[in-house]
Structures are given as structure tokens and as C-alpha cells.
Amino acid sequence: MNDFFDAIEFIFNEHESPAGGASVGGLSNMWELMWPHLQLSGASMGIACAIAIPLGLWLGHIGKGGFLAINASNVGRAVPTLALIAFFVVFIGVGFWNLTLALVLLAIPPILTNSYTGVRQVDRDTVDSARGMGMTGAQIVRRVELPLALPLIFGGIRISAVNVIATATIAPLAGVTTLGDPIINVNTYGDEGRLAAALVVALLAVVTELALGAVQRAVTPKGLKLEGGAGWRRRAMALPNNRREATT
Amino acid sequence: MSPLLAQVEIREREDTCVSDNGFCPDWIADNFDRYVDPFLQHVLLTVVAVAIGFAIAFTLALVAYRHRWLINPVTQVTGVLYTIPSIAAFFLLLPITGRGFVTATIALVAYVLLIIFRNVLTGLDNVPDETKDAGRGMGLTDRQLLWRVEVPLAMPEIMAGLRIAVTTTVGLATLAFFAGAGGLGEQIFADINFKSNVVVAGGLAVALAALLDAAILITQRAITPWTRAAAAR
């Protein structure tokens, strides 16, 4: 347990680096590492959402491209994050925006799959009655399909966000200093620094998951909440599509 | 000195393609054997972690299926385990279990529990009530009903969960070298600026994920022939 006390102490107090020279540890140093971590994750998630949500809504609305939307997740999972980052390092280059692009590719599949599935699982009768009320296609997407798909869309965002935060930990391999720096460059930070970084990354992921879970509940239309009831099912929906149609 | 840095190999750099960190088929052909052991370590890590994870999560799901109040607590605990990034989990476990295969396996098992638990339970819940009633009408006991009717009919979802678990674990096992358990990630990390190395090690990891995924899919087709019959109608 002493290792954990040392690690927590590292988070709050500055230390001399085991490699000599600059001091490491302490809250300001942790923040210096966490800020680029958040910037990187935020930029990637923003871009991924801007691409995947409209695309998923559109494919779901016209009812085409289901094969692409559903299999995007399956293919995405099969590429290890370390391999993805390594491919980017050797073929595209290092640096903040190159890495952002890699993380965008990582973040898109779950959001795309869930946006598509979210629209497709909207009751067709509901869509028909909206059309019967004289709504245009764009109105149906915005006022009927999007609200009803929001819980699933946010489920996708949750998976991607946690995955991106986890993967941003190996960003130092691509030349971006994040919370992963103490993990990769253990000589500079020491063992307690590495454990401290692992603790902070784990905490960051759990806090993000809980916060987005709260947002997900907040954006769930009242009607769906009344109908749903079973909390674990909502939770289950937050994960990659596991319906029978996705198994073949 | 970090054990990680000590493992970085100094490669022969006579060939200009290799010294330019290029993509060199000749180098790959000559050095392919150095990837065999990491590949096998990777396979072992994945298979052992998914097998243990499946045994635990399947048992939990069967218990929770009968005792519904267990669903929420199990989902929440496995949910937290699922959320903690594996790379962090490896280092959080190091002070407790030390470096090596065991630590990596524990972290990987923790990660797949939620995926399998959720899918097994969804599968069991999707079994139509009429089918269960028919089974009971034929005189099946609860135990017989579970193993002869409910589990077989839940197979598509169970296998889907297994596929997600396997492909995810292959990906996460590329980080297992941080816990001192080797695998293909160690090769990628050892020379991340060398195209040939990244392509071979990364390619092998993707191929392994695809291969195991296909193997489970084929198994599923073989043990659930009725799903194809239904689709053909």
C-alpha cells in the first residue's frame, strides 16, 4: 500500500526528478500534463461528433448504409489503439493534430453505429404519424428522430470519450505530452510518478463516464424514461450494438 | 534503468531502406521469426483472459437471471472495471501483483466482464415466454429448461458478446507489455519509428483479431443451425 501513498503524495507535492534537474510532481505539474490530455480528447471528440452524428442520423433516416454504420464498430474494435497510433507515427507523422486525427478515427465508429441504431429503433409508427401531421423530412429528423435517438447517441459518445481518454495516455509516443508522459518516461518521473499518472487517468475516465451518464439521463425524453423503467437496460444500450442483426 | 528501455533492441541498419525507417519486404522476410514468440504470447494472453472472463461473467449472468436484484450492482461494479483504462489498470495492479502475465490477465479479465455479462443476460431475456412455457409443458425442470432451452436460444447474443470481448482484448493486449507480459505491443513500442516493424506487428494484431472473430462466428453458425433455417425461410 505504501506505493499508493507515495503516488498520492506525488500528485500533491513537488519532487526532484530521479533523472536530476527539473522538479516533477505536484498539482501544477499534474495540471500541465492533464490540460493537453483534455485538449487532445476534447478536440478529437468534438470533430468525431460533428462527423459521426449527422452521418448516422442521415443514414438512419434514409434507412441505407446500415452495413457500413454497424460494421464500422466491428472494424474499429479490431484495430488495436497502439497499432493505430504507431501507423500514424510512421505514415502520417507526430504532433497534436496528427494525433487528433488518429483519435477521431478511433472515436467515430461507436458514435456512428449508435446514431444509426438510435434512429432505426425509433418506432416507424411514430415517424409515420409525424409525416401525417405534415412534417418535412428535416423536421422529422430534428424533432422526432433526434430526440428519441439521443440516449443511444450519448451512449456512443460515452464509449468513445472513455476510449479516447484512455488512448490519449499513449500520446507521448506521438510527441504530445499528456498524462501518459510519466508512464512512458518513467526515468524522469520515477515509479511513484507513474503510479500517480495511472491513478489520475483512471479517475479521469471514471469521472467522464459518470458525467456523460448523467447527461445521457438528462437528455432522455420523459416518455422514454416512463416506458424504460429497467435501469440496467439503459446502461446496456450505452455499449456497442449487440443486437442479433449485428452478429451476422 | 527502466526495464522497458532495456528491452529496446538495436537493429541492424546496413540496408538503406532499414536505416531510413522504410517499409522493406526483404527485412520483414529475414526477421519475421522475431515476431513469432510475441504473437504466441498475444494469443495466449487473449485466450486465457477471455476464457476466465467468460467463466466469471457467464456464471454471474446465470445467477443474476434468477435473482434480478443482482443485475444493477453487478452492472455497476463491472461497469467501473470496464471504464478504467487498461493501461492505468496495469500500473494500479503492479504494486499488488507484480510484473508479468498474471497482472496483465487480471486487467484484461476485468475489462471483458461487463461485455459478456450484459450479452448473456440480454440473450436469456430475449428467449420467448412461449418457448419456455412449451419446455415446462414438456416436463422440463428449471435446470433442464436453462441448459436445453434458454442457453441454446441465447447463443447468438452470447457469441456476439464473445466476439466483442475477443477483438477488444486483442487490442488491449498490445498494451500488456507495460505490465511485463510481452505480446505484439512490445515489438511496436520497441521501434515505433520503423515502418516495417509497425506494419508487421500491427498487422499481426489486426489479423489475430479478425481470425479469432471469424473462428467464433463459425462456431456460432455450427452450434445454432436453427438461426440459418429461420433466415432462409
Residue A23 pairs with which residues in a beta bridge?
A16
Size of interface A-B (CB pairs under 8 A): 155
- Given this model, what pLDDT does residue B5 score? 47
* Domain contains B163: yes
Annotate B148-191 with DSSP letters as a single string. IIIHHHHHHHHHHHHHHHHHHHHHHHTTGGGGT--SHHHHHHHT
Please, what is the Cα angle at A20 between A179 and A175, to 5 degrees? Answer: 35
Helix axis angle for A27-62 and A186-219, nearest 10°, is: 40
Q: Which of B83, B158, B206 to mutate to test the interface with A (most CBs of A within 10 A)?
A: B83
* Residue ranges for chain A with pLDDT beneath 70: 21, 225-248
B5 occurs within a structural domain: no
Handedness of CA A49, A52, A54, A60 (dihedral sign): negative
| Chain A 46-85, residues with CB within 8 Å of chain B CB atoms | 74, 77-84
Instruction: Specify if B1 maps to a domain.
Output: no
Predicted TM-score of the model (pTM): 0.85
CA angle B107, B112, B115 (to 5 degrees): 155
Task: Return the H-helix or E-strand segment holding A155.
Answer: helix A146-167
∠ CA A22-B4-A2 to the nearest 5 degrees?
A: 65
> Cell numbers 437528455 correspond to what residue?
A219
Within-domain flag for B154? yes
Number of structural domains in chain B: 1
Asked if residue B45 is part of any domain, the answer here is yes
Q: What is the pLDDT of residues B36-73, one digit of tens each?
A: 899 999 999 999 999 999 999 999 999 999 999 999 99
Q: How far apart are CA A134 and CA A128, in angstroms?
A: 10
CATH code of the domain covering residue B41: 1.10.3720.10
Task: Write the DSSP symbol of residue A241.
Answer: P
C-alpha cell at A33: 500534463
> What pLDDT is stored for residue A43 in this prediction?
96
Residue numbers in A near B182 (CB within 8 A): none
CATH ID of A26-247, from 3.40.50.150, 1.10.3720.10, 2.30.30.140, 3.30.465.10: 1.10.3720.10
B101: in domain: yes
Q: What interhelical angle do B195-223 and A81-91 show, nearest 10?
A: 150
Residue A230 has φ and ψ, to the nearest 5°, of: -70, 110
> Measured at the alpha carbon of residue A224, what is the angle toward residues A222 and A230, in degrees to the nearest 5?
115
Q: What is the enclosing helix (H) or strand (E) of A78?
A: helix A66-78
- Comparing CB atoms, the residue among A87, A162, A242 nearest residue B122 is A242
User: Which tens digit of pLDDT belongs to each residue from A165-205?
Assistant: 999 999 999 989 999 999 988 888 888 888 999 999 999 99
Pairwise CA distance, residues B15 & A218, whole Å? 60
The yes-or-no verdict on residue B203 having pLDDT over 70 is yes
Q: Which of A77, A86, A244 sits opposite B198 (nearest CB)?
A: A86
Task: Please answer whether residues A16 and A23 qualify as being in contact, where contact means their C-beta atoms are separated by less than 8 angstroms.
Answer: yes
Q: For chain A, positions 174-193, list CB contacts with chain B under 8 A.
A: 180, 183, 186-187
Residue B130 lies in a domain: yes
Look up the domain containing B109 and give its range: 35-232
* B11 — pLDDT class (breaks 50, 70, 90): low
